[in-house]
Structure 1
Amino acid sequence: MAGDPPSQHPDETPDATPTGADLGWTALSYLIGGMAVWGFIGWLVDRWVHSGGIITGIGVVIGCAGGIYLVIKRIGAPPPGSGSS
């Protein structure tokens, strides 16, 4: 009820290490999201200047590059102390 403390599951701690599947879905969402957003922006610009689809393709490539950049920046480096030595 209103006075009850919020229930926490042990695997919902904020400092829990994400699993491989979590990292994979995150990387996939960055790539698809980047291509979709920048592809849509490219499509809008393409409709505006009537370039025949060239700018849409450029937008998709830029979105893919941005998604790869985010994957490398956010989840590419392993946490300290988890290396194999």
Structure 2
Amino acid sequence: MTQQNPGSAPDEESPAGDPWHAFGYLVAGVAMYGFLGWLADRWLGTSFLVVLGILLGAGLGLYMTFARFNRPPDPQSKQEKN
């Protein structure tokens, strides 16, 4: 008899990620850094930092999405299947 880890199906692979995570990273990055840019604009009396904050937030959101969904497969899970 083979032993299986509880809660895991033997032949199912876990999904690479939920698309809502990607959406959440992008929206949260734009919102947070856009808000920080807006605050800095109000404090310094400028008008360009909100745009830089939005662009920085979008870039960091894309980076976080790429980092989350492009992880290499876990070698431990491959050994358990064989």
What secondary structure, in the 3-state scheme, does the structure 2 residue paired with 1:17 have?
coil
What RMSD in Å do the two structures reach over aligned CA positions?
2.3
Runs of 4+ in 1 over 4 A off after TM superposition: none
Q: Give the Cα–Cα distance (whole angstroms) in 2 for the partners of residues 67 and 76 of structure 1.
A: 14
Aligned to 2:3: none
Query: TM-score scaled by structure 1?
Result: 0.65
| Residue 38 of structure 1: how far off its partner (Å) | 0.4
| Residue 68 of structure 1: how far off its partner (Å) | 0.6
| Residue 17 of structure 1: how far off its partner (Å) | 1.4
The count of corresponding residues between Structure 1 and Structure 2 is 65
Aligned to 2:32: 37
Unmatched 5+ stretches in structure 2: 1-6, 76-82
Query: TM-score scaled by structure 2?
Result: 0.67
- Say which of 36, 44, 48 aligns to 1:49: 44
Unmatched 5+ stretches in structure 1: 1-9
Q: How high is the sequence identity, in percent, across the aligned residues?
A: 37
Aligned to 1:18: 15
- Say which of 47, 52, 57 aligns to 1:58: 52
